[in-house]
Amino acid sequence: MASTVTGVDKNLTDTWQNFRENYVPTVIAVLDFENGEVDFEDMSAILGKMLEPVLTPYLVLHEDSGKPAALINLEDLSITDYSTQPVSTRDSDIEHKELVKDFADELKESLVEGGWEQFVQGLIIPAIPFLLEKQMGITQIKRFLDLVPSRS
């Protein structure tokens, strides 16, 4: 876990080298992006400098008030809206598609070599925005964990 307020969790920095040497599939949950001066995208860049580059398959969309409201999936450009109950998923508007085009192209380029199988092999690391009070990021993190075969 990495917080935009307190930084990278000490447990993560202590075990990072071991994870990388052993190609352990790793997802980084980015916390506290709703409160601080550092947002999710900024923290992803910081992680890239502190640990190694991360991929951001989702970006945070905000309400007019600045509060996180939704995630946009950069692969299919769908929006998961956490401001509604129940949570809803819909196609993004044209302005959203234009807004995230460069990010979506960058993600697509990163996945050309082997898709998300690279994650399973421990070669790429997704960073996911996580906001427990809205349940934001839980389904997205689970999606990646479900890609990893069980060892039973």
- Whether residue 113 is predicted with pLDDT greater than 80 in this model: the reply is yes
Contact 69, 62 (CB under 8 A): yes
- Whether residue 45 is predicted with pLDDT greater than 90 in this model: the reply is yes
Residue 1 neighbours by CB under 8 Å, 6+ apart: 9, 12, 28, 29, 30, 31, 130
Phi, psi of 149 (to 5 degrees): -65, 145
Rounded Cα distance between 35 and 39, Å, is: 8
Rounded Cα distance between 141 and 130, Å, is: 9
Domains located in the chain, CATH noted: 2-145 (3.40.50.300)
The rounded mean pLDDT for the chain is 94
Confidence of residue 36 (pLDDT cuts 50, 70, 90): low
> What is the reported pLDDT for 86?
94
Confidence of residue 66 (pLDDT cuts 50, 70, 90): confident
- Whether residue 61 is predicted with pLDDT greater than 70 in this model: the reply is yes
